[in-house]
Amino acid sequence: MDRVALRGLKARGHHGVYPREREEGQTFIVDLVLGLDTRAAAADDDLAKTVHYGIVAEEVVAVVEGDPVDLIETLAERIAQACLKHDGVLEVEVCVHKPDAPITVPFDDVTVTITRSRV
């Protein structure tokens, strides 16, 4: 399976279990790895035979900016399902970063990574 990766998609969302997170929002960063077969697209040099990663990026940002959820696990699942709606995408790995998570000790990042497929 071939891979198309999008790294560092940024969007502001209002996800979290605490009222401050819901009210003020925060930046979320999303990394995606889409699994698909790119041979037909490469052979014909045809965008219609692969995934349009610009459209995927816009849809992922819309999910992050959309309806709030408590858990980034839920957010990752919603993103994965949006990606799998694209015909050529057979598998997706989604990593959601929450660098401003409400943690009381010093840290660099919090992430949740999931892999989903059509099967």
Sheet holding 91-97, edge to edge: 2-13, 26-36, 91-97, 111-117
82-99 burial code (b ≥16 CB/10 A, e <16) = bbbebebbbbbbbbbbbe
Q: Per the structure block, which two tokens stand in for 1?
A: 């399976």
Annotation marks residue 98 as catalytic: yes
- Could you tell me which residues come within 8 angstroms of residue 92 by beta carbon, excluding any fewer than 6 positions away? 32, 33, 34, 35, 80, 83, 84, 115, 116, 117
Of the listed 10, 49, 85, 98, which one is catalytic?
98
Give catalytic residues, as residue numbers: 98
